[in-house]
Amino acid sequence: MNRDQILVLGVGNILLSDEGFGVHVVNRLKALYGFPENVCIMDGGVLGLNLLGPISEAAHLIVIDAIRNRHPAGTLYRIESRDIPARIRSKNSLHQIDLLEALTLCEALGNVPETIILGVEPRDIETMDIHLTPEIAAKVDPIVDCVLKELSRLNVSWQEKSGTYSEDGPSRSGCRDGFP
């Protein structure tokens, strides 16, 4: 485990509308921002257990995903390591089961990164469509801001590709602590 390594991991199936939310978020992060070498922004797709290597090498893991948790579509989530087993019991896709198994294997190896899951309650994860539903697409920038807030908490700076990050922090969404 590299004590400085931070992995921002977007997971999901981009072929199933809102199921691909995490991948859309990391693609937006890559398009808008530059990060230091110790920050890896990764499209994890539906790789599940194949992500064990990158996850076990990170000291900090920020996962972005669509999360079905019986709240209204568009509800934003921030789930910390200690709450992951309790909050995400009914999985809606194989990649989520494999991701939890990968985290469990990291624990067995003694290399568990501090983990935060940021997500959104999806509207549609069954329709074959590479586009997010409009309601969920509107949540991409707020979650991008939440990722930047998490990186700030870890003392990471970044640069906007069109300029420099402001010390005032992200401003598009008013990301806050205490999501449902």
Q: Is position 168 within any domain? A: no
| Domain contains 166 | no
Q: Is residue 28 part of a domain?
A: yes
pTM of the shown model: 0.82
Burial class (CB in 10 A: 0-12, 13-18, 19+), 107: exposed
Mean local confidence (pLDDT), 26-47: 92
Give the separation between CA 139 and CA 157, rounded to whole angstroms: 23
Q: What is the pLDDT of residues 137-146, one digit of tens each?
A: 999 999 999 9
pLDDT at 152 over 80: yes
Q: Per-residue pLDDT for 133 more than 90?
A: yes
The answer to whether residue 16 is domain-embedded is yes
Cβ neighbours of residue 21 under 8 Å, at least 6 residues apart?
A: 10, 12, 64, 65, 66, 119, 120, 122, 132, 136, 139, 140, 143
Return phi, psi of residue 118, to 5°: -110, 135
In a domain, 31, yes or no: yes
Q: How many helices and strands in the chain, by DSSP H and E?
A: 6, 7
Distances (CA, A) of 165 to 34, 122, 141, 144: 10, 30, 15, 14
Q: Classify 110 as helix, strand or coil.
A: coil
Residue 180 lies in a domain: no
pLDDT value of position 82:
74
Q: What DSSP state is assigned to residue 172? A: S
- Domain encompassing residue 31: 6-160
Identify the pLDDT of residue 126. Answer: 92
Token duo for residue 86: 């309790």
The total number of structural domains that make up the chain: 1
pLDDT tens digits, 63-115: 999 988 889 999 999 988 777 655 454 444 444 546 666 666 666 566 778 88
Q: Is residue 17 part of a domain?
A: yes
- The whole-angstrom separation of Cα 72 and Cα 172 is 22
Using pLDDT thresholds of 50, 70 and 90, give the confidence band for residue 50.
Answer: confident
Residue 178, domain member (yes or no): no
Residue 56's CATH number: 3.40.50.1450
